[in-house]
Amino acid sequence: MEEIDFKQLIEECIEVTKGHLGKSWKAFKPYAEHELKKFAESAEFLAKLRAKGKITDDELQERLEFQKQAFKSVLLTIEGIGLITAQNVTNAILDIVGKAVKAALGTVL
């Protein structure tokens, strides 16, 4: 079995995630990097077990599916934080506009 360069794998995963998240990447960086690292570590752990013949191909597949399922939860967090960010921006804009309207109406808060 060919050795997998897991450092390289993590780097590639980070680059792909960065590309998808665009400008939001900075907000997610520490969390996403930590989770991607753990995901890659698990894949490395399973690859070693398979190489040693401790698990079968079917078990490898099943255990990788388990990792994928867990990663979905991570993606839900990232999606949620993205929505929170959009919500904050929209509300900040509405607040500015609201204050301007109030000022124009000559109302003291």
Partner 1 sequence: MNQHHLLVRQIKSNVRQFAIFLPLFVLLTFNSCTVTYITGYDEMIDETTTEMLHDFNMFFIKLQRAIKSKDGGEDQKIAHFQGYYDELEVDLLVLETRAAYMGKKSSQAKGQVEILKQSLHQFKADHTEGFPDDDDDIKTDKRNGINSCFNSIIMLQKQLKDTGKAN
Closer residue to partner 1 (CB): 8 or 91: 91
| Least separation in angstroms between CB 46 and partner 1 | 5
User: Would you count residue 6 as binding partner 1 (CB under 8 A)?
Assistant: no
User: Would you count residue 38 as binding partner 1 (CB under 8 A)?
Assistant: yes
H/E/C letters for each residue in the chain? CCCCCHHHHHHHHHHHHHHHHHHHHHHHHHHHHHHHHHHHHHHHHHHHHHHCCCCCHHHHHHHHHHHHHHHHHHHHHHHHHHHHHHHHHHHHHHHHHHHHHHHHCCCCC
User: Would you count residue 56 as binding partner 1 (CB under 8 A)?
Assistant: no
User: Would you count residue 103 as binding partner 1 (CB under 8 A)?
Assistant: no
